Amino acid sequence: PAAAHTHAFQAEVRQLLHLVTHSLYSNRDIFLRELISNASDACDKLRFQAIDDASLMEGDADLRIRIAVDPEQRTLTISDNGIGLSLEEAVEHLGTIAKSGTREFMQKLGDKQKPDAALIGQFGVGFYSGFMVAERITVESRRAGMTQAEGVRWESDGTGEFTVETITRAKRGTDVILHLRADADDTPHEDKIDKYLRVWTLKDLIGKYSDHISLPIEMRKEKWDAEQSKYVATDEWEQINSAAALWTRSKSEITEEQYLEFYKQLIGDSQPPLRWTHNRVEGRSEYTQLLYIPSKAPMDLWDRQQKAGVKLYVKRVFITDDAESLMPTYLRFVRGVIDSADLPLNVSREMLQESRDVRAIREGSVKRVLSMLEDLAGSEDQAERDKYAAFWAEFGAVLKEGLGEDFSNRERLAKLLRAASTHSEDDAPSVSLADYVARMKEGQKAIYYITAETPKIARSSPQLEIFRKKGIEVLLLTDRVDEWMLGFLNEFDGKPLQSVARGAVDLSDIKGAEDKADEAKDDKEPSADHQALIERFKQALGERVKEVRISKRLVDSPACLVAADDGMSAHLARLLKQAGR
Ligand code: ADP
Ligand code: MG
């Protein structure tokens, strides 16, 4: 056999390896995710190339990943029957850093001598992360389509250099053999590298990070050996992951039960979701989204700091469930999965925030969620509209935040608004702005609303009297967020939104109002009697009011308080006072 050749690592790899081997213990687990993901990539590549050349499968088309431990030898082996590596490829791919993510990581570190372990954990460093736990890594591989004599063994202790030699290898694909480091005596129990020799720990990690890899990940079945009184490995393999990345399958292959079951698994919520959307998006950015609208609000809905409900995967490998940049805050109730084909596996929090791909994903996902809601809200089917009403009752107040947060979708959000009104039968928020506008009286220019703590309080306000008398509809806005929202929602369909509790209301242009005579009377200048009365009120109230005037808006009540045109409403003043401002 040919002698082994020694190669020096590229300078950047040396630097990276130095960081990896000298970094702290935190989040070392991710090395397994990285190696499994490489194995999965290798199978994907083979599957893709075999489309043109079926002989590459060599009669073995059942692609899978196997993980084996040898406690005596202290080795952990990750095997795949994917595309494999030629000798040249091993030198090239395992001796240099090609991927942009890792480069970026190196740049971010700059001259920092002491790397931040958390940073390494966040990025992941691909193949080289194996050196976090291994004192030596041996890779044995044969590229699909090459002869058995053209196998390769690559080996390194993760310092300055690696060796490669040609070997004979019957199997196509790759074994990555980690020779695990010995733990120092003072290593805390939970940080011991030994744990990666324990089958149940590995199963646990696979479940956590790689369950949705769509290939089977197998480990040897164990059986109890009474003599040794411990579990020992058998020759049989069993599948550890569910290998069912539901979202990667096409919609037509997925049953409703499967969607529901997946939701349950994802959320741990026993209530079925209200609605879901599943799409594969191609184009500028390539990704798959499977997004659910729950039927019930979670306990922490009002905590704007809570983790986003959408999990990010990159090519079926779980990355994070804490990516707020994937969904705007006002859609924090949405649950589901986004699987990107473009992002690097080792994407960091910072990169997520800056990435153009992520921005495209977010915009696309917002549009999907909004159209899901529009479909419900505008459905011909009463049952669907009832679902929207149920949605609004749970999440309407959250969606309203969007009017202030998401200017590009303000119009769509405004159409989704629902409120109770003086024209609705009960206090349920069921009137849309479009309903309101359609019912506006001839000559009516503004959309009138009143804010109050409850619909009941709103309805009993003296400020409403003239509107009720004239049959003009007023929206009753009773969510805490409404005052804030109204700061952003000034108009709808070209009609200004106007508070009935603010400034002077002029209803004189509105046709069809009864009591013309009354109005004419009110239009006169205050009589001398009235003038005297106003003076007395002013004296009695002093500084507490800005102005006292004769009003046209009262019908039954003798007096009411209104806010100045530019002042804050009484309701907002109360809210702020409650909040201690
Ligand atoms: P990345 O996976 O992002 O490309 P890695 O550092 O994880 O970066 O891997 C570097 C390269 O090594 C891969 O791109 C691939 O070419 C090669 N490689 C790693 N593991 C395998 C494997 N199991 N089979 C075939 N090639 C592999
Ligand atoms: Mg990789």
Query: What does the alpha-carbon distance between residue 139 and residue 174 come to, in Å, rounded to a whole number?
Result: 7
Question: Strands 173-180 and 75-80, how do they pair?
Answer: antiparallel
pLDDT at residue 521, rounded to an integer: 42
| Ligand 1 atom with minimal separation from the 80 CA | 23
Q: How far is the CA of 346 from the centre of ligand 2 (A)?
A: 9
C-beta separation of 164 from 87 below 8 A: yes
Q: Which residue has the tokens 């569910």?
A: 242
The pLDDT score that the predictor gives to residue 530 is 82
C-alpha angle 563/569/574, rounded to 5°?
Answer: 125
What are residue 180's DSSP bridge partners?
A: 134
Ligand 1 pocket member 93 (CB < 6 A): yes
- Among the bound ligands, the one closest to the CA of 177: 1
Number of the ligand closest to the Cα of 44: 1
The confidence score (pLDDT) of residue 523 equals 46
CB atoms within 10 A of CB 484: 15
Q: Could you read off the pLDDT tens digit of each residue along the chain, which spans 581 residues? A: 568 899 999 888 888 888 777 764 457 888 898 899 899 889 888 887 887 789 999 999 999 999 999 999 999 999 999 999 999 999 999 998 765 555 666 666 665 555 555 555 445 578 998 998 999 999 999 999 999 999 999 999 999 899 999 999 999 999 999 999 998 788 887 778 999 999 999 999 998 777 767 789 999 999 999 999 988 889 999 999 877 788 988 899 888 988 887 887 677 666 889 999 999 999 888 999 999 999 988 766 666 666 668 988 888 777 777 677 889 999 999 999 999 988 887 777 777 877 888 899 999 999 999 999 999 999 999 999 999 999 999 999 999 999 999 999 999 999 999 999 999 888 999 999 999 999 999 889 999 999 999 999 999 888 888 888 889 999 999 998 998 999 999 999 999 999 988 766 677 777 665 544 444 344 456 777 788 888 888 888 888 888 888 777 677 777 777 777 666 666 667 766 666 65
| pLDDT number for residue 263 | 85
Asked if residue 30 has its Cβ within 6 Å of ligand 1, the reply is: no
Return d(Cα 373, Cα 413) in angstroms, integer.
Answer: 10
34 lines ligand 1 (CB under 6 A): yes
Relative to the CA of 128, which ligand 1 atom is closest? 6
Contact present, 64 and 218 (Cβ < 8 Å): yes
- pTM beyond cutoff 0.90: no
Distance CA 216, CA 239 (A): 6
What confidence score (pLDDT) does residue 516 get? 46
Judge whether 306 and 321 are in contact, CB under 8 Å: no
What is residue 376's predicted lDDT score, i.e. its pLDDT? 95
User: Is the distance from the beta carbon of residue 45 to the nearest atom of ligand 1 less than 6 Å?
Assistant: no
Handedness of CA 281, 283, 284, 287 (dihedral sign): positive
The answer to whether 196 and 133 have CB atoms below 8 angstroms apart is yes
Evaluated on CA atoms 109, 115, 119, 125, the torsion sign reads positive
Give the whole-angstrom CA distance, residue 350 versus residue 107.
13
Cβ of 39 less than 6 Å from ligand 1: yes
CB contact at 8 A, 403 and 416: no
Does residue 480 line the site of ligand 1, with CB under 6 A?
A: no
Q: How far apart are CA 347 and CA 101, in angstroms?
A: 7
Q: Is 355 annotated as a binding residue?
A: no
Whose CA is closest to atom 12 on ligand 1?
93
φ/ψ (deg, to 5) at 536: -65, -40
CA of 99 to the centre of ligand 2 (A): 9
Ligand 1 pocket, mutate which of 13, 41, 137, 143 (most atoms under 8 A from CB)? 41
Radius of gyration (C-alpha) of the chain in whole angstroms: 34
Backbone torsions φ then ψ of 313, nearest 5 degrees: -120, 150
Which atom of ligand 1 has the smallest separation from the CA of 94?
A: 12
Length, in residues, of the chain:
581
Pick the residue whose CA is nearest to atom 20 on ligand 1.
Answer: 38
The answer on whether 123 is annotated among ligand-binding residues is yes
- Whether ligand 1 lies within 6 angstroms of the CB of 85 is answered as yes
Say how far apart CA 291 and CA 374 lie, in whole Å: 15
Residue with tokens 């590995």: 202
Distance, in Å, from the CA atom of 310 to the CA atom of 74, rounded to the nearest integer, reads: 38
Would the annotation count 122 as a binding residue?
yes
- State the pLDDT at residue 121: 46
Q: Is the CB of 80 within 6 Å of ligand 1?
A: yes
CA of 34 to the centre of ligand 1 (A): 9
Q: Give yes or no for residue 38 CB within 6 A of ligand 1.
A: yes
- Rounded to an integer, what distance in angstroms lies between the CA atom of residue 447 and that of residue 450? 10
- Mention every residue, 6+ apart, whose C-beta is less than 8 A from residue 371: 277
- List, in sequence order, every residue forming a beta bridge with 448; answer none if it has no partner: 498
**Residue 126 labelled as part of a binding site:** yes
Cα of 536 from ligand 1 centre, angstroms? 87
Q: What is the 3-state secondary structure (H, E, C) of 494-544?
A: CEEEEECCECCCCCCCCCCCCCHHHHHHHHCCCCHHHHHHHHHHHHHHHHH
* pLDDT attached to residue 517: 40
| C-alpha–C-alpha distance, residues 378 and 73, integer Å | 65
Nearest protein CA to atom 7 of ligand 1, as residue: 126
**Confidence (pLDDT) at 69:** 96
Task: Tell me which residue has its CA closest to atom 18 in ligand 1.
Answer: 38
Residue 439 class from Cβ within 10 Å (0-12 exposed, 13-18 middle, 19+ buried)?
middle
Between helices 11-22 and 100-109, what is the axis angle to 10°?
70
Ligand nearest to C-alpha 40: 1
> For the packed helices 30-49 and 199-209, what is the interaxial angle rounded to 10 degrees?
60
